[in-house]
Amino acid sequence: MLTLFSAPKPFDGHVGLIQRNALASWSALAPEAEVMLLGDEPGLAEAAAEWGAEHLKEVARNESGTPLVSSIFSLAQQRARHELMCYVNADILLLEDFLPSVKRVGQELDRFLMVGRRWDLEVKEPLSFDPAGRERLRRQLSVAGRKHPPAGSDYFVFRRGEFADMPEFALGRAGWDNWMIYAARAKRLAVVDATGSVTIIHQTHAYGHLPGGQPHYRLPESETNLRLAGGREMIFTLKDATWRLGPSGLRRQRISPAGLARTVEAALAARLGPGRPSRWVRLLSHPAETLRYFMGRAKGRIDPA
């Protein structure tokens, strides 16, 4: 039914623990889901063998040595056994509500991108994903979990063949996940927010694996990702979804009066694409930002320093 693919970090310390938890949760979805791991990070080959996942090593990297998202998506789609694909971050736990939701969207929509918000939870021990283990995890989530803002996405479900023209984004840096929603809107795919139907859990972790221990959004590669995406106008969030999947089924997203301005802005940006017209749409949609823009330009004319 579904090919899950991911590019984990090295399997060291706490990160190794939570990635093994993630693999355990994905493997519990078998036989309907195959798991594919990409990259040559330390411990990855052993983890793939342990969990019976396919391992693809030849992932292209940028000049900083960071894996390229475009290479990961291309390799996975070439080798996948299933029509439906899902990229998922390697620290994400998937539960029993995931596959039924994917199946429903796949049956009702032809071309789509399914995404959703995550819950953040601190996990310090190995987890099990039999019925009792999942129940314990849900109880823990109800007590200590925190729902993440809609700005970031941790999984993407789509049909094989989509996103073949992806820019060379750096994996694990900001921006590329937001671009995915923009690109889906630009290609007239249905963007489905499945938050109301799917519980995904992000196991929180430190940033010691990144240069200087900084969060990913502070790194120069995130600025490069933003440029490759086409600028801030192309940074879409889950609020820009066009469909919603919940307990009552799949429905088109309703436009609220409070969200009308953003709805118009996103529709125009998706139609116009990167460039000056979309920048003007953004400036007109955000008066405070426009004022700062023109004040900065005026100051530059008066005092170039």
Which domain, by its residues, includes 261?
A: 256-302
Q: How far is CA 252 from CA 67, 191, 195, 222, 246, in A?
A: 35, 10, 14, 32, 11
14 and 159 assigned to the same domain: yes
- pLDDT > 70 fraction of the chain, expressed in percent and rounded: 90
Residue 267, class by beta-carbon neighbours within 10 Å (0-12 exposed, 13-18 middle, 19+ buried)? middle
The domain tally of the chain equals 2
Please report the pLDDT score of residue 51 as a whole number. Answer: 94
36 and 62 assigned to the same domain: yes
- pLDDT > 90 fraction of the chain, expressed in percent and rounded: 80
Task: Please give the backbone phi and psi of residue 218, each rounded to the nearest 5 degrees, phi first.
Answer: -95, 0
Which residues, 6 or more positions from 149, have their beta carbon under 8 angstroms from its beta carbon? 117
User: How many Cβ atoms are within 10 Å of 91's Cβ, its own excluded?
Assistant: 21
227 and 264 assigned to the same domain: no
Q: Residue 81's domain is classified under what CATH number?
A: 3.90.550.10
288 and 141 assigned to the same domain: no
Please report the pLDDT score of residue 151 as a whole number. Answer: 86
194 and 276 assigned to the same domain: no
pLDDT tens, position by position, 56-66 = 999 999 999 99
Q: Which of 167, 192, 183, 187 is nearest to 113 (CA)?
A: 192
Mean per-residue pLDDT over the chain, rounded: 91
Six-digit token pair at 294? 């023109």
* Span 139-161, average pLDDT: 94
Taking the C-alpha atoms of 80, 270, 191 and 39 in order, what is their torsion angle to the nearest 10 degrees? 30
Please report the pLDDT score of residue 218 as a whole number. Answer: 64
pLDDT tens, position by position, 285-300 = 777 666 675 666 666 6
Which residues, 6 or more positions from 177, have their beta carbon under 8 angstroms from its beta carbon? 152, 153, 154, 156
Of residues 214 and 79, which shows the higher confidence score?
79
Of residues 258 and 28, which shows the higher confidence score?
28
Question: With 50 as the cut, is the pLDDT of residue 126 above it?
Answer: yes
Beta-bridged to residue 68, according to DSSP, are 170
198 and 136 assigned to the same domain: yes
Please report the pLDDT score of residue 215 as a whole number. Answer: 57
Please, which pLDDT band fits residue 305 given cuts at 50, 70 and 90? Answer: very low
- Amino acid at position 169, single letter: F
214 and 263 assigned to the same domain: no
Q: Map 250-264 to HEC letters.
A: EEECCCCHHHHHHHH
Six-digit token pair at 93? 């736990």
Which residues, 6 or more positions from 189, have their beta carbon under 8 angstroms from its beta carbon? 111, 112, 113, 158, 162
Please report the pLDDT score of residue 284 as a whole number. Answer: 78
Please report the pLDDT score of residue 208 as a whole number. Answer: 52
Please report the pLDDT score of residue 239 as a whole number. Answer: 94
242 and 269 assigned to the same domain: no
162 and 269 assigned to the same domain: no
251 belongs to a structural domain: no
Please report the pLDDT score of residue 11 as a whole number. Answer: 96
Please report the pLDDT score of residue 291 as a whole number. Answer: 67
9 and 157 assigned to the same domain: yes
- How many CA atoms lie within 13 Å of 106's alpha carbon, on the beta-carbon side? 18
pLDDT tens, position by position, 18-47 = 999 999 999 999 999 999 999 999 999 999
> Could you say which of 222, 246, 270 is where a domain stops?
246
Peptide bond before residue 8 is cis, with ω within 30 degrees of 0 = no
Question: With 60 as the cut, is the pLDDT of residue 209 above it?
Answer: no
Six-digit token pair at 236? 């879409």
CA distance 152 to 180: 11
